C-alpha cells in the first residue's frame, strides 16, 4: 500500500525510518510533503520517494494512506479532509484536529469508505486508545484520568527537586520539551484536547475541548511540594473525565492537583505519561510509558498503518486492500470510528474532593479565624492547618487541608477570603486525589 507523509519534522522522520527499516514489505513510502522541502531532504531516503511542496502532486498520485504529521489545525485539517474525500485512509498524531473536528472527520471517513486513526494523538508511544478498545471492550468504562502533558510533568518534577518554576520552564524549553510559547501546556489546554479524545474513546462521551475547565500550574511553588510531601503526595497536572454527572453529561477538568504517592498518577517524571481508566467490572487499569518523542510517537503511527493493512487480523489477512478498507470502515467497534459517532455531551467542572489551600499573608491576629469563618459559611470543614516556622511575618505561608467539598462552594469561599486585606498573593487551591480521581 502506498503511503504519503505530510510533515517531515521529528515525528515524520522517525515514521519514515521505521517504515523503511521494518515494514517496507507492506507499506511503500512514495511521497514526502513539507514546506521548504529542500531543507528537509535526507540522504537515507530511497531515490524513488518524491519530495514536494505541492499537495496536489501527492493527491494526484492517489496514495492509499496519508500520514498527517504537520501539527496545528489549519492546513492539517484541510489535508485530512481532502485525503478522506479521495477515499484515502488517514493516520494522524494531531490532537487538536481530532479533539476539535473528530466527529466531522469520522463521518467523512465512513462516508468515503476510509479509515481515520489517531493513536499517536494521545500519550505518544503508549497504545492507550487501542488497548481500551481491544482489551477492555467487554467492560463499561466510567472514568478516565491521566497525566498527559510532558512539559508540565517535567516542570513539576524539577520543582519537586527544589527548582523554581521559572528555572524549570527555562530548562524544559532548552531541552525541547516546551515550546517558545508554552501557554497551552501550562494552562492545561493541551491536556484538555487529549482528554476530549480519551472521553470519546474510553467513555463513548464526545466533549468539546473548549468546554473543559482548565487551571494553570504557574501558581505552584517549591514550598507546595514540601507541604505535599508531608501529606504523602506530590503535585501533577491531572486531566480527568467522569460519567457520574449523568446521561449526556460529563464531569471533566484539567487541574494541578496533589496526588497520593500510592497513585499511578504520581509516578510519572520527565516526558512520561500515564492514563488510568475505571471500569464497572474490571476496576482500575493503568497505561504507562513515554508520552512524547519522535520514536515513541512513530511506533504509534506505524502501528496504526499496520492495523489499516490488516496485520494481526486473521479475518482480514489475505483480503484485497479495498476489501480490508471497507470491512474495517464498516466495523463500528474500531476505536477510531466508534467514540465520535456518539452524541456530543455537555461538560461540567463540578466535582467533590478534599482540597489543599495555601495562603501567603502579612501576619496578624485573627487570620485563621477569618478564613475558617468563610469556609464555615459555605459548609466546608477544615481537616488540618500546616505551618512551617522561620518565614518572615510580612510573607508568611500556611496551608489548610479541607474535607471533601464541591468546587463551586469552595470557589465561593475562596473568593470571599481573597477579598480580605492580609494576602500577599492569591491563595493556591489544589484538589487532593488519594486514589485516581
The residues carrying an active-site annotation are: 194
Task: List the grid coordinates of 374.
Answer: 468563610
What's 343's DSSP letter? P
Antiparallel, parallel or unpaired: β 382-386 and 396-406? antiparallel
Q: Give yes or no for a contact between 355 and 405, defined as CB atoms under 8 angstroms apart.
A: yes
Three-state DSSP class for residue 368:
helix
Q: Which residue bears the cell 514540601?
A: 226
246 burial (CB, 10 Å; 0-12 / 13-18 / 19+) is exposed
Place of cell 476496576: 283
Give CA–CA dist 209/253, Å, rounded. Answer: 10
Give the C-alpha distances (Å, rounded to integers) separating 360 from 41, 71, 229, 375.
55, 41, 19, 17
Residue given cell 473536528 in the structure block: 101
Angle between the N-to-C axes of helices 95-111 and 189-203, in degrees from 0 to 180, rounded to the nearest 10:
40
Contacts with 23 (C-beta within 8 Å, 6 or more apart), sequence order: 302, 305, 306
Amino acid at each position: 500500500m502506498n503511503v504519503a507523509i505530510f510533515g517531515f519534522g521529528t515525528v515524520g522522520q522517525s515514521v519514515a525510518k521505521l517504515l523503511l527499516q521494518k515494514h517496507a514489505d507492506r507499506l511503500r513510502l512514495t511521497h514526502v510533503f513539507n514546506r521548504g522541502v529542500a531543507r528537509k531532504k535526507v540522504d537515507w531516503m530511497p531515490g524513488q520517494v518524491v519530495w514536494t511542496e505541492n499537495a496536489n502532486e501527492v493527491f494526484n498520485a492517489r496514495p492509499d494512506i496519508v500520514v498527517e504529521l504537520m501539527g496545528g489545525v489549519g492546513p492539517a485539517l484541510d489535508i485530512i479532509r481532502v485525503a478522506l474525500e479521495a477515499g484515502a485512509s488517514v493516520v494522524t498524531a494531531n490532537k487538536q484536529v481530532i479533539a476539535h473536528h473528530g466527529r466531522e472527520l469520522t463521518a467523512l471517513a465512513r462516508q468515503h469508505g476510509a479509515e481515520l486513526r489517531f493513536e499517536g494523538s494521545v500519550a505518544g508511544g503508549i497504545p492507550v486508545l487501542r488497548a481500551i478498545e481491544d482489551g477492555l471492550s467487554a467492560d463499561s468504562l466510567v472514568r478516565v484520568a491521566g497525566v498527559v502533558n510532558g512539559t508540565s510533568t517535567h516542570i513539576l518534577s524539577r520543582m519537586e527537586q527544589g527548582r523554581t518554576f521559572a528555572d524549570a520552564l527555562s530548562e524544559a524549553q532548552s531541552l525541547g520539551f516546551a515550546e517558545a510559547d508554552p501557554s497551552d501546556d501550562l494552562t492545561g489546554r493541551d491536556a484538555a484536547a487529549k482528554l476530549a479524545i480519551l472521553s470519546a474513546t474510553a467513555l463513548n462521551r464526545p466533549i468539546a475541548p473548549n468546554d473543559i475547565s482548565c487551571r494553570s500550574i504557574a501558581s505552584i511553588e517549591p514550598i507546595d511540594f514540601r507541604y505535599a510531601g508531608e501529606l504523602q503526595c506530590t503535585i501533577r497536572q491531572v486531566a480527568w473525565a467522569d460519567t457520574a454527572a449523568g446521561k449526556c453529561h460529563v464531569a471533566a477538568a484539567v487541574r494541578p492537583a496533589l496526588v497520593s504517592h500510592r497513585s499511578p498518577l504520581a509516578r510519572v517524571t520527565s516526558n512520561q505519561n500515564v492514563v488510568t481508566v475505571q471500569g464497572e467490572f474490571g476496576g482500575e487499569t493503568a497505561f504507562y510509558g513515554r508520552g512524547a518523542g519522535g520514536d515513541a510517537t512513530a511506533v504509534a503511527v506505524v502501528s496504526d498503518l499496520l492495523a489499516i493493512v490488516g496485520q494481526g487480523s486473521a479475518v482480514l489477512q489475505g483480503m484485497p486492500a479495498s476489501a480490508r478498507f471497507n470491512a474495517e470502515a464498516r466495523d463500528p467497534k474500531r476505536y477510531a470510528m466508534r467514540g465520535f459517532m456518539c452524541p456530543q455531551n455537555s461538560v461540567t467542572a463540578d466535582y467533590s474532593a478534599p482540597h489543599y489551600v495555601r495562603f501567603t499573608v502579612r501576619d496578624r491576629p485573627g487570620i485563621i479565624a477569618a478564613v475558617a469563618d468563610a469556609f464555615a459559611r459555605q459548609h466546608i470543614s477544615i481537616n488540618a492547618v500546616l505551618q512551617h516556622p522561620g518565614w518572615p511575618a510580612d510573607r508568611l505561608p500556611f496551608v489548610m487541608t479541607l474535607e471533601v467539598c464541591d468546587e463551586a462552594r469552595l470557589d465561593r469561599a475562596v473568593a470571599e477570603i481573597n477579598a480580605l486585606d492580609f494576602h500577599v498573593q492569591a491563595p493556591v487551591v489544589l484538589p487532593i486525589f488519594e486514589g485516581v480521581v
